[in-house]
Structure 1
């Protein structure tokens, strides 16, 4: 039986996130939504103080910290495990000082100057690949085999982090999805179908974040708020294929889907 994944519930403390920008910008709204996600089945709350869309306006580290500080204080006081979704070392350092459970970096921790701080802690690191690699104007996947391209990125980043003293077993791989793999939905579907090759090559856990992503919306014609069924289908496919962590806007739907899959497997064994 496939082990249950760790579920990250998404809380965007932003004004411009593609699916819910502005809805949870106040501390009260963010805290309330985080509690709802936990009640719906999230194991971890992934706090994002800036939009990850390549076209989003930049947000300073000071603003990110101001956005997350009261939310972190409240959720940690309630015993909720937190992941920080930020690529800015200053924000990451603040989150580490507060005791977050994960760091989630859409640029894959590119700054060697911050590696000594990362090596001092035991916090797991979600190392995400993206074709942008810090350059927002990139829109198309590179030529050749996309899994090979992603693997080369991970090889280089794992080597750099471990050489700096970060334990290899702390690293979680995220191949990126949607915009992070380019404008064509085909690339994201290929990676979703083949990410097991990355697990086999590196022997590390894989996080997938497909929730409401552009590649699902393009093939269904749905708006972000209407992409729940497509999201659930992709998430269940990812879990069946071995995803270890799932980052989602709707943990309740995912928990229900997992319960149905488990009941089906139990029924098959009884026969």
Structure 2
């Protein structure tokens, strides 16, 4: 594992400050960059550029989870992500697979992924089993509903209490089932209104103060478009930086981004001004 130290339990990677996870969509229909990296050579070139720009991890996704997205058959998703993961597996970067299907997670872990980033929060017992059997770390995200319908009518009594409570209880459950370590992700934009998203961003200290590292992914999301009146997703990087710098100041251990170089630069400057914050372990036998 790149940057890892072997322990009796497997490999462990630790970091200080807020690390950057680079987004690699190998899909034709992702909301911001669909189709740009669907070919293997384009995907690898982009992954290596993000690595060279300072990405701590590359998150490879073969199915769009934008609001209203239709599901993709597992075999299609596997055919999209597996060649990319295999080609990058020997290179000096950590790899994540962005999927909610256990069979895709298994194929990705066999191809070299170190972490499973499941937007459904490991609700499926088969996904928990896939991670536990491989000894792979996982990201537990909160999503109300499912991608096709999650933005129809999001509703919470107390969004912070419900989201944070779910994440903590789910982290305990999946670790008790054998998943070695987890990241928590509040799931901005996944079954949340603008007000819900802002409440969760303001409440980050409550989540980052716990035992699990926190991942925040606001990159180019509709929240920024509505707050700053920017209808084109690819033009939302300045707003993405603002939200992710806020997350880092509140203790987030990782941010998931499209614009890797800009985020690495901004986070380094912020760290010099304020000192590092956020820290996280990642364990895997890979």
TM superposition score normalised by structure 2: 0.85
Query: Paired residue for 1:42, among 41, 55, 61?
Result: 55
The alpha carbon displacement at 1:100 in A equals: 1.2
Q: Which moved more, 1:112-121 or 1:92-101?
A: 112-121
Q: 1:135 to 1:263 in 2, by over 3 A?
A: closer
| Contact 2:70–2:148 (CA under 8 A) maintained in structure 1 | no
**Structure of higher RCO (CA pairs closer than 8 Å, 6+ residues apart):** 2
Is it true that 1:226 corresponds to 2:248 in the alignment? no
The alpha carbon displacement at 1:143 in A equals: 2.9
Is it true that 1:194 corresponds to 2:194 in the alignment? no
| Contact 1:181–1:187 (CA under 8 A) maintained in structure 2 | no
Query: Paired residue for 2:177, among 164, 184, 189?
Result: 164
1:87 match: 100
Is it true that 1:261 corresponds to 2:270 in the alignment? yes
1:150 match: 163
The alpha carbon displacement at 1:90 in A equals: 0.5
Root-mean-square deviation (Å): 1.9
Q: Number of aligned pairs?
A: 259
Q: Secondary structure at the match of 2:238?
A: helix
Is it true that 1:136 corresponds to 2:148 in the alignment? yes
Structure whose residues are more often strand by fraction: 2
CA distance in 2, matches of 1:265, 1:137: 40
Q: Over residues 84-115 of structure 1, what are the superposed CA-to-partner deviations in whole Å (9 max), with x where a residue is unaligned?
A: 00011000001111231211000011111343
| Contact 1:181–1:188 (CA under 8 A) maintained in structure 2 | no
CA distance in 1, matches of 2:223, 2:47: 26
The alpha carbon displacement at 1:142 in A equals: 2.1
Q: 1:141 to 1:264 in 2, by over 3 A?
A: same
2:12 match: none
CA distance in 2, matches of 1:69, 1:37: 19
Q: 1:107 to 1:23 in 2, by over 3 A?
A: same
Is it true that 1:31 corresponds to 2:44 in the alignment? yes
Give unmatched runs, 5+ long, in structure 1. 267-271
CA distance in 1, matches of 2:135, 2:176: 16
CA distance in 1, matches of 2:130, 2:31: 32
The alpha carbon displacement at 1:190 in A equals: 1.2
The alpha carbon displacement at 1:135 in A equals: 6.4
TM superposition score normalised by structure 1: 0.89
The alpha carbon displacement at 1:159 in A equals: 4.0
Query: Paired residue for 1:174, among 172, 185, 203?
Result: 185
CA distance in 1, matches of 2:239, 2:205: 21
2:248 match: 239
